[in-house]
Every structure is written in structure tokens, then in C-alpha cells.
Amino acid sequence: MTANDRPPGAVAAEQMGLAHRVVRHGSVRSLAEAAVARGVEPVDVVKTMVVRRAEDDYLFVLVPGDRVISWPKLRSLLGVNRLSMPNADEALAVTGYPRGTITPFGAKTALPVIADEGLAGRAITLGAGVNNAAIVVDADQAVAALDAQVADITDPDEPITDPTSSPHSRES
């Protein structure tokens, strides 16, 4: 991709009529680095998570950068007993995007979207479908464009003190 090419997520957002801008930045290794590179607070770096409800049944979950999925809240909202996160290869196969670049905009498979209520009223950044780029959008407009369900589905991201109990569990 050349510097003049638009990332696939930005092209899809444009096709949806969503006002946005692209921010390009160098390589980042953490959410904090991504926030600095994008010129936003960590809360505004939205993580697009792919969650598996059942075999061949996935959805996107939009999580503010300073929060993590609350598996009990999400299971309750969806009326299921078990959810999991696909491995990187499976997420790529479903979305067409590698981890770290995943966005609901222009994904290979149109999936339902659930957005945490903490996104409301904010300007947020999301993956753009390629490394070192993000899409900046109004969260309320993005939620509407994606026909996302908005709910309380996260908890604060707290430091892990006991390595055997992680809030970032891959499965719950």
C-alpha cells in the first residue's frame, strides 16, 4: 500500500457515508503507545474484538481502550452460557484483517456489532484494516452506521496481580 492509498476500513467507512479521517503512525506495541501515536486518550483507542458465540457464529465487540470485556455481562446480554475468542488465524479468516488492525468497517464477513455504552459522545479511533493506521470517527455516528447494539458490557481494565486470574481470559 502506498502513502496515497486508503486503508480498507476507511474506504468502507466512506462507502457507508461515515465522516472520518485516517491517522497514520509508526509501529506501536501497546495501547498506551497507540494513544500517544494517535493523539488521543487511551479510552478513545477502541479495541475491536471478535467473539465466538458458537461454531461459525461471531460478532464484533467494541471496547474502550481503558476497559475489558465483562464476560458475565456479555453472556447475559446475548443469553448464552459460553463465549470464546477465536485464535488469530480464525479471526483473520472471519474478518479479512489481522489482529491489531481489525475493524468492523469493510470486514470480510458482516457481523453483528455490540458497542460498550462508554463510547457514547466521544471521538474514537478504530483499526483501519492495515498496520500503522487508524480511523477517527464520532462514536455515536459509527454506532448508528454499524447498527450496533449499545450496552454495558465492560469492566475497568485493572492491573493483574495474580497471574492465575486474568480479566483478559480467552474464554469464559
What are the sequence ranges of the domains in the chain? Answer: 17-154
Per residue in 111-127, pLDDT (tens digit) is 999 999 999 999 999 99
Per residue in 132-163, pLDDT (tens digit) is 999 999 999 999 999 999 999 999 987 645 44
Distance CA 77, CA 119 (A): 17
Cα angle: 61, vertex 67, 70; to 5 degrees: 60
Burial class (CB in 10 A: 0-12, 13-18, 19+), 112: middle
- pLDDT score at 87: 96
Distance CA 26, CA 33 (A): 10
Distance CA 98, CA 104 (A): 12
- pLDDT score at 5: 85
pLDDT of 8 higher than 80: yes
Report the mean per-residue pLDDT for the chain: 91
Distance CA 51, CA 1 (A): 29
Q: Provide the whole-model pTM.
A: 0.89
Distance CA 116, CA 138 (A): 14
Three-state DSSP state, 31: helix
Q: Please provide the CATH number assigned to the domain covering 17-154.
A: 3.90.960.10
What is the number of residues in the chain?
172
